Structure formats: C-alpha cells, structure tokens
Amino acid sequence: MRDGQQSLFATRMSQESIDALLPFYEQAGFYAIEVWGGAVPDSVMRYLDESPWHRLQSISAKMQGKSLLTALSRGRNLFGYVPYPTPVIEGFYKNAIADGLNVMRIFDALNDLDNVRESVEIINRLGGIPDGAVCYTVDPKDEEKQSGGGFFSKLMGKGKKHHDKIFTDEYFIDKARGYEQMGAKIITIKDMAGLINPARVASLMPKLKAAVNVPVDFHTHCTPGYGLASSLMAIIHGVDILDTNIWYFGGGSAAPALELIYIFAQKLGVEVEVDMNAVGKIRSTLKEVRKGLKDFDLQKSFPIDFDPLVDKLPADVDALFDKAIDAAKANDEDTLLDACHAIEAYFNFPKPNEIVKNAEVPGGMYSNMVAQLKQLHAEDVLEDAMRLIPKVRRDAGLVPLVTPTSQIVGSQAVSLALDRQKGKPDYTTKSNQFISLVRGEYGHTPVAIDPEFRKLITGSSEEVPYNVNSYVYPENPVLAEYGGVKLALDDEEYLLLELLPNVAKPFLTKRRAAEYEATKPAEPTASATQDEVIEEAVEPITGPTLDAPMGGTVIEVYVNPGDVINKGDSLLMYEAMKMQNEIEAEFAGTVKRILVSPGQVIGTGEPLIEFE
C-alpha cells in the first residue's frame, strides 16, 4: 500500500482500492503493514484529490491494531523537500500517532544522524516506535571501468581524483549503532535502489546483528536484479524482519514477492508469520487493482498466476530454489543470481534493469521520472537523464539516492539533459532544492562538495547550514468567496500546508469550493439561446519571450507589465517534477505581457513572459 505502488505505479492507488484490500489485510496477520509516507501524502492530493490523513485514519479504523501500521518519514524533511522546525515535526508526529500510526521509519537522505535525532526522541516520547533506517548506497564505479573512450569517459572527464571508499561495512554499522544509541527500537538497512548484492549482505548482516541489540529489518528492491537473492541471503544470515510486496505489486522495481520468499522459507524451515490464505485473497484483489493502474504500469506484463499453497512447481523450477539456497550458503554469488533470475523469468517477473543498475537509482525514482516525463511530453530525454545521474550525484557530494535527494538529483539530471539538448552549459537550469543541497542546507554530504562547484551553483564557496528560524509558516487565509471559511479547517489540514504548500493549497481550495457549492441552492440552468459565448481576441506574440525550460506548474510571477529587468533577474518560479525552479532573465529588457498565472500548468517550451 506504500512501497509497491510507489515503486511500480507512481503512487496512484486510490482510496477505493485501499478499501477493497483492507478486509483481507485485517485477516493476514502481518507483523507490520507500510501504509503511508514516502510519496503517498503528496500524490494522493496532487493526483487523486484525496486526503492523506483520511487514508491513514481509514486504514487504522479497519485494522484495529491487528498489525502494526508503519510509515516512512525523512527525518527533519518529513514528507516535504525542506527541513522543518521542531513545532512542525512534533505536530506531524503527534497527529500521525493519534490517527493510528505505530512505527515511523525515519531516515535521512544524507545519513546525517543529526537530522534524525529529534524525530527519534519525539516518537519515543509520544509512544510510537522509531525505526532507524540507514540508507544503503555504493561508491561510484572506478572511472576507468566506466570510460574507455565512450559515453562515460566524456561524461566524467579524465584525470579526476578517485574518492576513497566511503560506503564500507563499518560506515553502515556506525550509522546503525548511532540510531540505537539515540533510541531507535528497530534498525533497517534501507536499500532503496536495490544495489546491495548477496555477497555484501553476507558480509554486512552478521556484523550488523552483532553490533545492535534491537531487531534488524532488511528492505531492498529487485530493479538491478539483486533483490530476491539478497533477501534469501539476509534470511540465511539471521535478519529479523523482511520487507516484501505481494505478487502483482512485487518484483521489478519493487521489493521481492512474498510468495517467492515463502517458498524459500519453507525449504529453510523458517516460519513466515502471516496467514497465506489471506495473502491469496489480497493477491486476487491486487490483480484487479493493477489492471486499473495500467496507465502507470511500467512493465505491462503480469507475472503468471500462482498460489504457493495450491500450485505444484515443475521439478526443474523447484530445483532452482534448492540450487539458490545451496549457492547462498556457499556464498557463491554468481550461481545464486543465475538461479534467482531463472526463477523470476519462469514466473514472468521483469528482467534486471541495466539502465537503472548502471545509473544506481531507486526503483521509485525511476518509475516517477518516467511518469512525470510522460506528462511533460519529454520522454526522449529519459535515457540521457539516467546516464547523467552519476555525474550529478558525484558533483553533489555522493549523496545516497532516496527521497528527497533522489528527486532533487533526478530532476537536476533531467534539467542537465535538457540544457545539453539546447546547447546550453551544464547547470544552466537549477532547481531551488538542488541549490539548497549544494549550499549545505540539507546537512553534511558523505563527501565534501568541491568549493568551486558550490560557488558555481550557489554563488558562494562557503557551506551554509539550514536555519530553521528562517522557515516561514504558511498563511491560512479566510476565503471570502467560499463563505468566509479558512483554507485549512483544522490542525491536520494546516500541517498539509506546512509540509507540502504547493500541493496542499490547490487541494484544500478545491475542497472548500466543493463544500461551499454543496450548501448553495441549485440555480436554474440558462438555455443555450440565452447564453452568448464571447471569445476574447488573443493578441499575437510579436516580441521576444521567456519560455519554460521544462513543463510544470506556475507558482509565482515576480514581475509585472512595464517592469524594466536586467539579465540574471529572477522572473518567475514554477514547479516541475516536484522541484521548485526559478527562471532568470537571459537579457535586459522591458516586460510587455505576462502570459501565465499562478497555478497554471505549462508545457515544455511554452512562452511565459513577452518582452517589448
């Protein structure tokens, strides 16, 4: 209900689908069900016109404590893209726990523990269960292995100094110990990109189990082809909790399918604490839900129908499970991966995604990039953008790719690809969030950012941390046109404005308008002969224009007709791929006309401002 749909279907599962699934989840007896967080609050408002608070409340009311409910939170960033002050953080957790949330999985995109300390303390104090998630990532490949005169040689350049290895076993153990010391009750290795290979699990998991005294959870994805094999290796090496998705929402860029894990567990004599009959009912319902999500389905082809409680495996396929187990126990990674890939191929799960594997990105990031680029009619830049992600990541201090850094880096890679397509210098177009990341506002990056690059992006080589005192609480205006009610009617709606203002404002405005219209008496409909449609003449554009570098939504226009502007002046802010971008003047001149207005959706290349 969170990770599967976010990874495979761009977080488009509706409340209607959730409601159809809940009776079966109630019966299943899962230890915990992830129902919220990540992109859910943003997406249900932005795309589905639904309340994220209602989603949590409805799930909690139906489950009645029969499974723990979990959500994903970005530490000081919560569900948004900027660090928030303490009152916002505490208010959010207080309302979430009151609405039935039990476990809050907290992570920081930079693995900067200073950014999560306050969240762990608050959740403990409020009676929730803090789950400290260490974001797994890898060091970039050696440049010689990427080059050889090809694309990556041109992309990365030659003669660059190689970074020392940063993401060692000891790095992740140190982060896990830090979480436990500050009060985390669960430790999760959160491998959002599916990059943790089985051999690394065999090395890391025993050390992690020995280093901490709380349960260890393992979360990975199948995108690059490691997920199933690495999950098997985690079971063999004593993991306590394993994150899975159910059949039609598993595999590919999502977590491994529970049903395949169940077969491995049966062969290993490991108990899976879940009612697999209820899982079968969920599975049947999810098949229909997935059909309804076809517009966002990256794979289109479904896995074959299969019930591990009823269907007998062909002897050769059954032997593949045994072969995988033997290879895992022997730490024979190549044989293990071959067996697991053959198992997935038999059941028609997607093949490893080589583009994603080489770019080292999370599955959810990839699916969202595809969905958003389709909306922008800019699918042609996807491959170039994926190839540019390693460069952007290096430039930005080797940040792990998990929300919000995955969205920041992914969006910036798209902008970089568009800049190159137009013959412009790299980083001509920069989102506000990328500028903030490079400036230092999101915390300390794993590797220090080159001061010269910071100066290029921010205008100063100095690192500047985020000052929570600069946070501006959003206005909650009275809407005279809708009966004089406030935009946000209660604390939870105001929290939406605090966390996701650009999404929450139009969402709540639409809610208030609908409520107001429902109270008005019906007005007689005028006949077609009485109404005259007057078409306003559109003045043709004759002067130079400022055009949208990428499609999105206009947030604010800074200038007015008649204003004299200089080259480099900020003219307009718009949101694209969930990032805020300010467009600067490319020349001096006088504003003739503003061609767009706040809230308007714009396309790539669309004229925004006309000059004299």
Q: In the beta sheet, which residues pair with residue 556?
A: 573
Nearest to 34 by CA among 15, 56, 50: 56
Mean pLDDT by 10 residues, the chain (612 residues): 88 94 95 91 93 96 94 85 86 95 94 93 96 91 44 40 79 97 97 94 98 98 95 97 96 94 97 95 96 88 96 97 98 97 97 79 70 76 86 91 84 90 92 92 92 96 87 93 95 94 93 92 57 58 84 84 88 72 84 88 84 90
- Residue 128 in contact with residue 104, Cβ under 8 Å? yes
Between CA 146 and CA 151 the distance in angstroms is 8
For 269, other C-beta atoms within 10 Å of its C-beta total 6
Nearest to 509 by CA among 523, 492, 497: 497
Which H or E element spans position 345?
helix 333-346
Nearest to 233 by CA among 329, 109, 298: 329
Between CA 6 and CA 431 the distance in angstroms is 23
The predicted pLDDT at position 152 comes to: 37
Between CA 517 and CA 21 the distance in angstroms is 32
Between CA 303 and CA 472 the distance in angstroms is 48
Between CA 254 and CA 349 the distance in angstroms is 11
Report residue 582: phi and psi, to 5°.
-100, 130
Between CA 140 and CA 53 the distance in angstroms is 39
Which H or E element spans position 132?
strand 129-135
Q: In the beta sheet, which residues pair with residue 486?
A: 478
- Ordered DSSP codes for 528-581: TTT----PPPPPPP-S-EEE-SS-EEEEEE---TT-EE-TT-EEEEEEETTEEE
Burial class of residue 509, CB neighbours in 10 A (0-12, 13-18, 19+): middle
How far does CA 432 lie from the centroid of its chain?
Answer: 18
Question: Which domains, and CATH codes, for the chain?
Answer: 3-138+165-312 (3.20.20.70), 357-470 (1.10.472.90), 478-519 (no CATH), 545-611 (2.40.50.100)
- Residue 105 in contact with residue 70, Cβ under 8 Å? yes
- Residue 120 in contact with residue 59, Cβ under 8 Å? no
The predicted pLDDT at position 468 comes to: 78
The predicted pLDDT at position 345 comes to: 97
For 564, other C-beta atoms within 10 Å of its C-beta total 11
In degrees, rounded to 5, the angle at the alpha carbon of residue 130 between the alpha carbons of residues 498 and 45 is 35
Between CA 214 and CA 186 the distance in angstroms is 6
The predicted pLDDT at position 520 comes to: 82
Indicate the Cα dihedral angle 402, 407, 408, 409, nearest 10°. 70
The predicted pLDDT at position 549 comes to: 75
For 141, other C-beta atoms within 10 Å of its C-beta total 14
- Residue 245 in contact with residue 258, Cβ under 8 Å? yes
Q: In what order do the strands lie in the sheet with 186-190?
A: 32-37, 68-73, 103-106, 129-135, 186-190, 216-219, 241-242
